Amino acid sequence: MSDVSLVVNGKRVSAAVEDRTLLVHFLRENLGLTGTHVGCDTSQCGACVVHVDGKAVKSCTMLAAQASGSTVTTIEGLAEGADLHPVQAAFKENHGLQCGFCTPGMIMAATDMIARHPEGLDEATVRDELEGNICRCTGYHNIVKAILAASQAMSGKSKAA
């Protein structure tokens, strides 16, 4: 067993877990944060993306013990108060989701992507940067649109497509 202690969505949490516990299972089962999903076994689909110490990572490919001492943000902690985060709002306004299963990972990936591109985003970059997130419903069309809109809303910048 490992004693893990993290700050998740601003709250300090501690627990003793089996060493083999993945971060995603710790979040879902120990903390009840079920917005983070598991969609594959091979670290490819990105439904499990969360931010660890400010960076998007796949929580299915990291042990909870590895993350001990880190600060974690999940989809549940993205918005401040009752307002939606601009990326969440853009996904809704642009119909960037259908079944909603990949959506938390998509939004966490998009938030990270926008932060890494303060210069603004274009369509090709967004598509390229979505390499690690699979959606089966939307054909990505409206996800790309939502991320471009959010990028623009957040930075006031976007590059011509």
Partner 1 sequence: MYSVNYHRASSVADAAKLLASEDAKALSGGMTLIPAMKTRLAAPSDLVDLGHIADLKGITVSGKTVTIGAATTHAEVANNAALKQAVPAVAHLASLIGDPHVRHKGTIGGSVANNDPAADYPAALLALGATIVTNKRSVAADEFFTGLFETALEDGEIITSVSITAPDRAGYEKFRNPASRYAIVGVFVAKGPNGVRVAVTGAGDEGVFRSSELESALGGSFTPEAAAGVKVSADNLMSDMHASAEYRASLITVMAKRAVTQANG
Partner 2 sequence: MGIEGVGARVARKEDKRFITGAGRYVDDMIVPGMKHAAFVRSPHAHAEIAGIDVKAAQAMPGVHGVLTGRELKADGIGNLICGWMIHSKDGTPMKMGAWSPLAVDRVRYVGDAVVIVVADTKGQARDAAEKVEISYKELPAVTDASKSMDAGAPQIHPEAENNLIFDWDIGNADETAAAFKNAAHVVKLDIVNNRLVPNAMEPRAALGHYDKAEDHYTCWTTSQNPHVARLVMSAFYNVAPENKLRVIAPDVGGGFGSKIYIYPEEIVCLWASKKTGVPVKWVADRTESFLTDAHGRDHHTHAEMAFDKDHNILGLKVETKANLGAYMSLFSSATPTYLYATLLSGQYNIPAIHANVKAIYTNTAPVDAYRGAGRPEATFVMERMMEIAARQFGLSPAELRRKNFVTQFPHQTPVIMCYDAGDYAASLDAAMLAADYAGFPQRKAQAAKAGKLRGIGMSCYIEACGIAPSAAVGSLGAGVGLWESAEVRVNAVGTIEVLTGSHSHGQGHETTFAQLVNERFGVPLDSVSIVHGDTDKVQMGMGTYGSRSGAVGMSAIVKALDKVEAKAKKIAAHLLEADEGDIVIENGTLKVAGTDKNVPWFQMALAAYTAHNLPGGMEPGLKETAFYDPSNFTFPAGCYICEVEVDPDTGMTEIVQFVAADDFGNIINPMIVEGQVHGGIAQGVGQALLEGAFYDASGQLLTASYMDYTMPRASDLPSFQLSTSNTPCPSNPLGIKGCGEAGAIGSPPAVINAITDALGHENLTMPATPQKVWAAARAAKH
Interface ranges with partner 1 (CB under 8 A)? 2, 18-20, 22, 41-44, 46, 49, 55-58, 60-63, 65-66, 68, 109, 112-113, 116, 129, 131-133
Residue among 69 and 92 whose Cβ is closer to partner 1: 69
- Look at residues 41, 45, 40, 13 and name the one whose alpha carbon lies nearest to residue 29: 13
**Smallest separation (angstroms) from partner 1 to the CB of 115:** 11
Residue among 95 and 116 whose Cβ is closer to partner 1: 116
- Look at residues 105, 109, 120 and name the one whose alpha carbon lies nearest to residue 154: 120
Decide: 46 and 105 in contact? Cβ < 8 Å.
yes
Which position has the token pair 């903390």? 31
The item of partner 1, partner 2, none sharing an interface with residue 58, based on CB under 5 to 8 Å by kind, is: partner 1
Half-sphere exposure of 76 (CA within 13 A, CB side): 15
The item of partner 2, partner 1, none sharing an interface with residue 84, based on CB under 5 to 8 Å by kind, is: partner 2
